[in-house]
Amino acid sequence: MDLKNINNIYFIGIGGIGMSALARYFKFLGKNVAGYDKTPTQITKDLEALGVQIHFEDAIDAIPKPFLNKEETLVVYTPAIPKTHTELNYVKDRGFSIKKRAEILGLISKARYTLAVAGTHGKTTTTAILAHLLKESGARVTAFLGGISENYNSNLVLEGDEVIVVEADEFDRSFLHLYPDIAAVTSMDADHLDIYKKADALEESFHEFSSRAKDHILVRNGLLLAGQTFGIEDESDYCACNIKIENGTYIFDLKTPTQLIKDLHLNLPGKHNLLNAITAFAMALLYGSPTTALAKALYTFKGVQRRFSYQIKSDALVYVDDYAHHPTEIDALHQAIREMHPEKEVLAIFQPHLYSRTQDFGEDFAKSLSQFDQLLLLDIYPARELPIEGITSKWLFDMIDLKDKKLVSKDNLIEEVLKSEAKVITTIGAGDIGEEVTSIKEALLKI
């Protein structure tokens, strides 16, 4: 398919973080763009401000008429859309050109030099750092991000088409539509078992993805994948060493196969972010970006929204918002909080994401959440799923080994938050808990 010949592009699930980046990209190219999503969000509002038509009712009549012309319209959908979706079945039954989001990314990147970041954790931040490093060091880069970069207030970086940067998503094996020149795998923990059924099948897909890298493949030290390795204070090919923390900033040296780069600065907390930065820096070096420019760019990287995102940071109170939705990610968040704010009591507010993930990792979630001092636990966010009998927040709650814990609803969440005397507060989860952040922040600032 030649995307140049398509006039209309209709997105089913346009408000998704990956889908909205594609919608922005095609709007920038001058295409007619419209779409459906379940609920309005800040992302959909921002797209509408660009002139994108969006509706929130699954109804054929709501689709703008020009997009009902199947000869001139490409339909892009996300696998998160249920199979019973009326609009999706309508375009399937009538023979529209239909592609998954990942297939479109594959088409866009096919003819260009591509850098792709995969991993069950860390890929969004790593991709965002990499895009920033390349842009600031002079590369003409287009980057599709799985989060909103704080530097650009966008999930799309558009500086030219010399090189493409993409977040390679393992969900639904989407990343197997990509053939990157340089690729990285940040992590390979069991996840998406609703799709893969077994951890072995997930690992097999990562092996297949890594085999597609044409020039270089970077893997975190310890993963069962072949390639150049990265790590912290070990024997990796790309290794952070001589690490210290000053005023919340990591200062470290980076040992590479050919040089030692001294005094790099990273203004993100947590060892997991240090690994993300090493990965991005190594990929940019392999691409050929100049070391001095990369060092300056790393120092100016601000982060990704909802990835250890400080909402309040003062001596009296700290409020951090984070997208963590897997036990490993919660552990990384906890490590970062304890490292940056030692000896302070921490209140965690967690919204589980998906019934299946809660069921698959219930004991691990309980262990991770038990590390905090206080916990407010919200109902499970279902996303694309129907309930699973017996799998509820109460089921998870009963496994958590913590005295100061409480089940709450969003209706009384702020009231419960304000009762706490904790000096560090964190909201955690990949559901709609992010929509509560502004209200929580405003309530805390009034104290």
Tell me the per-residue pLDDT of 184-219, one tens digit each, with 9 for 90 and over: 999 887 564 556 567 788 888 899 999 999 999 999
Question: In the predicted model, what is the mean pLDDT of residues 274-302?
Answer: 97
Residue 180's pLDDT band (boundaries 50, 70, 90)? Answer: very high
Q: Dump pLDDT digits (tens) for 411-426.
A: 999 999 999 999 999 9
23 shares its domain with 135: no
Task: Lowest mean pLDDT of 87-96, 244-253, 394-403, name the range.
Answer: 244-253
Residue 105 lies in a domain: no
* Structure tokens that stand for 238 in this block: 């790309």
Examine the fold and report which residue of 265, 280, 299 is the final residue of a domain before the chain moves on: 299
pLDDT of residue 439: 97
pLDDT of residue 79: 82
pLDDT of residue 202: 82
Q: By C-alpha distance, which of 95, 115, 97, 96 is closest to 105?
A: 115
135 shares its domain with 269: yes
323 shares its domain with 290: no
Residue 5's pLDDT band (boundaries 50, 70, 90)? Answer: confident
pLDDT surpasses 60 at 37 = yes
137 shares its domain with 284: yes
Q: How far is it, in rounded angstroms, from Cα 191 to Cα 195?
A: 9
Query: When comparing pLDDT for 190 and 170, which is higher?
Result: 170
pLDDT of residue 60: 97
pLDDT of residue 370: 98
50 shares its domain with 164: no
321 shares its domain with 438: yes
**Domain that residue 281 falls in:** 112-299
Q: How far is it, in rounded angstroms, from Cα 22 to Cα 12?
A: 12
Q: How far is it, in rounded angstroms, from Cα 319 to Cα 358?
A: 25
Examine the fold and report which residue of 247, 280, 299 is the final residue of a domain before the chain moves on: 299
126 shares its domain with 73: no
pLDDT of residue 194: 59
How would you write the chain as a 3-class SS string? CCHHHCCEEEEECCCCHHHHHHHHHHHHCCCEEEEECCCCCHHHHHHHHCCCEEECCCCHHHCCHHHHCCCCEEEEECCCCCCCCHHHHHHHHCCCEEEEHHHHHHHHHHCCEEEEEECCCCHHHHHHHHHHHHHHCCCCEEEEEEEEECCCCEEEEECCCCEEEEEECCHHHHHHHCCCCEEEECCCCCCCHHHHCCHHHHHHHHHHHHHCCCCEEEEECCCCCCCEEEEECCCCCEEEEEEEEECCEEEEEEECCCCEEEEEEECCCCHHHHHHHHHHHHHHHHHCCCHHHHHHHHHCCCCECCCCEEEEECCCCEEEEECCCCHHHHHHHHHHHHHHCCCCCEEEEECCECHHHHHHCHHHHHHHHCCCCEEEECCCECCCCCCCCCCCHHHHHCCCCCCCEEECCHHHHHHHHHHCCCCEEEEECCCHHHHHHHHHHHHHHCC
Residue 435 lies in a domain: yes
333 shares its domain with 292: no
pLDDT surpasses 60 at 6 = yes
Residue 304 lies in a domain: no
pLDDT surpasses 90 at 95 = yes
Residue 69 lies in a domain: yes
pLDDT of residue 389: 97
Q: Dump pLDDT digits (tens) for 233-271.
A: 999 999 999 999 988 899 999 999 999 999 999 999 999
Examine the fold and report which residue of 233, 267, 299 is the final residue of a domain before the chain moves on: 299
pLDDT of residue 224: 85
Residue 20's pLDDT band (boundaries 50, 70, 90)? Answer: very high
Question: In the predicted model, what is the mean pLDDT of residues 4-19?
Answer: 93
Percent of the chain with pLDDT over 70: 98
pLDDT of residue 362: 97
pLDDT of residue 121: 87
pLDDT of residue 3: 81
288 shares its domain with 323: no
Percent of the chain with pLDDT over 90: 84
Question: In the predicted model, what is the mean pLDDT of residues 379-387?
Answer: 92
Cβ burial of 331 (10 Å; 0-12, 13-18, 19+) is middle
Mean per-residue pLDDT of the chain: 94
What CATH number should be reported for the domain holding residue 74? 3.40.50.720
192 shares its domain with 323: no
Residue 171's pLDDT band (boundaries 50, 70, 90)? Answer: confident
pLDDT of residue 80: 81
pLDDT of residue 248: 80
pLDDT of residue 201: 83
Question: In the predicted model, what is the mean pLDDT of residues 371-387?
Answer: 95
pLDDT surpasses 80 at 445 = yes
pLDDT of residue 195: 60
Residue 111's pLDDT band (boundaries 50, 70, 90)? Answer: confident
- How many domains does the chain contain in total? 3
365 shares its domain with 242: no
Q: Dump pLDDT digits (tens) for 56-88.
A: 999 999 999 999 999 999 999 998 888 899 999
Q: Length of the chain, please?
A: 447
pLDDT of residue 191: 60
pLDDT of residue 172: 75
pLDDT of residue 197: 61
pLDDT of residue 352: 98
The label of the residue with tokens 């760019």 reads 297
384 shares its domain with 272: no
pLDDT surpasses 90 at 126 = yes
